[in-house]
Amino acid sequence: MKTYDILVLGGGPGGYVAAIKAAQLGAKVALVEKEVVGGICLNHGCIPTKTFLKSAKTFKTLQHSEDYGITKSGEVNFDWTKIVARKDGVVKQLTGGVAFLLKKNGVDVYNGYGEVLSPTQVKVGNETLEAKNLVLATGASAIVPPIPGVKEAYEKGTVVTSRELLNVKTAPKTLVIVGGGVIGVEFATVFNSFGSKVVIVEKMDGILPTMDDDVRTAYTKRLKADGIEVLTGAEVKSVDGKKLTYNLNGKDVTIDSDLILMAVGTRANSQGFEKLNLTMDRANVVTNEYLQTNVPNVYAIGDLNGKFMLAHVASHEGIIAVEHALKKGHTKMRYDRIPSCIYGSPEIAAIGLTEKEAKEKGLDYKVSKVPLAAVGKALADGEKEGFVKLIVDKKYLEVIGAHIYAYNATELISEYATAMELEGTAYEIAHAIHPHPTLSELTMEAALGAIDKPIHI
């Protein structure tokens, strides 16, 4: 029987990062993955959708090339087969890279289903592995809700989750998306760009419920202006093949669609751990600030603990878990400083408190909001829509929240993440010299606004 210091179950962005970090710290490490390393994020989520979004943005830019003084001859078209092929190529390169890094760092990779026998033993095929510490990183799966007709339509292929939608052979002429969260709006952006008639059906009173209200309002207007129908406060009642019936304002409405995307969330893959007697919160494994479960040598990271279903959170949790298990560090996980990103057009990025949350907490805060048009680089790039909203406490002007609605917003949010980690204030951000012309000047202008007034508005 082979014995390891760390055994990681699941090879997604949490699991493979945990395995590599543990190996770098000198541990003997095994990783068990039943499919391909990289998990949902690399194979069926984050990366594939971003390749689609890049193709969509390129297509849109070419359609409007004359706005930049570039003339074109004839109509700009797209080849869906080549778009999918490009996606597959990027995924293959990245998963191959992860496999190489695991091998280079001396991690033993076992392909197969890992059956957890005890807190120290996992069976893979006919082989039983012994481990001093177990890191569970089994991720989550898309929810197929128990709505009448949904299960049957899913089996027929007229209802899909994001995983199946990423592999469709042709772009659908009509697409109904159930759920106005991150996955829903990103796919809405993609397929609307390629000419699909897209309808979002959201049960809540608005899309993107975790985002700041100013961002939600602006993005809803953008989606509608792009021709996407956004139905909020609408509850799906049933599905019959390609027909979906929803209730809005007390009235049942039935619509037809080539495909129906279920984007109502994910559920942790926590089946199979019964022998560990872990403390659970519904499907989620309960963990402490070091990612420990109630069984001291067993850790649960990523989607499995249900705290933040984001790849970068899983990766960070993986590092904290193995450092703690190997007694190489005592860094605690901070969930109040998690950046989140939405790759629409424009993009959305956020960290910390929304204004609504700051108000509900009774904090004495100040808001600085600067439009994208205040930055010369944005105008040069032909991007006019968007803003940054910085929330600081009034006493020290410490950053407590930041919300960006702009192109490349996902690249800008890291400055705020660093500032919050350092307990930085608007003074430090404003005094850091930002190069001109860059989009990062938006961050500086917002800091100046928090102190007194922005320069360029």
Q: Is 312 assigned a ligand-binding role in the annotation?
A: yes
| 26 annotated ligand-binding residue | no
- Consult the annotation and say whether 10 binds a ligand: no
Residues 6+ apart with CB under 8 A from 376: 436, 437, 441
The response to whether 434 counts as a known ligand-binding position is no
Asked whether 2 and 130 are in contact (CB, 8 A), the reply is yes
Is 309 known as a binding-site position?
A: yes
**Annotated binding residue 445:** no
39: Cα within 13 Å, side-chain hemisphere: 29
Tell me if 329 is assigned to a ligand binding site: no
Nearest to 457 by CA among 371, 384, 366, 367: 371
Catalytic residue numbers?
A: 436
Neighbours of 70 (CB within 10 A): 10
* 15 marked as binding residue: no
Residues 22 and 320: beta-carbon distance below 8 Å: no
Q: Does residue 114 have a known ligand-binding role?
A: yes
- 167/27 Cα distance (integer angstroms): 38
Cβ contacts of 75 within 8 Å, gap of 6 or more = none
Q: Is 324 annotated as a binding residue?
A: no
106 labelled binding-site residue:
no
d(CA 180, CA 161): 14
Q: Does residue 375 contact residue 456 with C-beta atoms inside 8 Å?
A: yes
139 marked as part of a ligand binding site: no
Has 69 been labeled as part of a binding site?
no
Tell me whether residue 50 is annotated as binding. yes
Compute the half-sphere exposure of residue 167: CA atoms within 13 Å on the CB side of its CA. Answer: 10
SS3 377: helix
Amino acid at 237: K
Q: How far apart are CA 438 and CA 408, in angstroms?
A: 11
Binding residue per annotation — 298? no
Q: Is the sign of the CA dihedral 76, 384, 432, 363 positive or negative? A: negative
Dihedrals phi, psi of 316, to nearest 5 degrees: -65, -40
Q: Where are the beta strands (DSSP E) in 90-242?
A: 108-111, 114-118, 121-124, 127-136, 140-142, 159-160, 174-178, 197-202, 229-232, 235-240
CA 328 to chain centre: 29
Mutual angle of helices 213-225 and 182-193, in 10-degree steps: 20
Is 181 labelled as part of a ligand binding site? yes
Q: How do beta strands 251-256 and 243-248 pair?
A: antiparallel
Is 303 marked as binding a ligand? Answer: yes
Binding residues: 50, 114, 179-186, 202, 265, 303, 309-312
Binding residues for FAD: 50, 114, 303, 309-312
Binding residues for NAD(+): 179-186, 202, 265
